[in-house]
Amino acid sequence: MPQVDVDRIVGSIRDGAGAVREKTQDAVEDVADKIEDALEKAGTEGRKIQREVKEELARRWRQVDRVGRENAFLMAAGALAVGVLVGWLISRDRRG
How confident is the model over 47-92, as pLDDT tens digits? 888 899 899 989 988 888 888 788 888 888 888 999 999 999 998 8
- Judge whether 75 and 68 are in contact, CB under 8 Å: yes
Instruction: Give a yes or no: residue 95 inside a domain.
Output: no
Task: Answer whether residue 93 is part of any domain.
Answer: no
- Quick check: is 23 in a domain? yes
Which domain range does residue 20 map to?
Answer: 3-71
What does the chain come to in residues? 96
Q: Is residue 39 part of a domain?
A: yes
14 is a domain residue? yes
pTM, two decimal places: 0.44
Distance CA 3, CA 10 (A): 11
In a domain, 84, yes or no: no
- Number of domains the chain is built from: 1
Task: Report the number of secondary-structure helices (H) and strands (E) in the chain.
Answer: 2, 0
Radius of gyration of the chain (CA): 36
In this structure, is residue 89 part of a structural domain? no
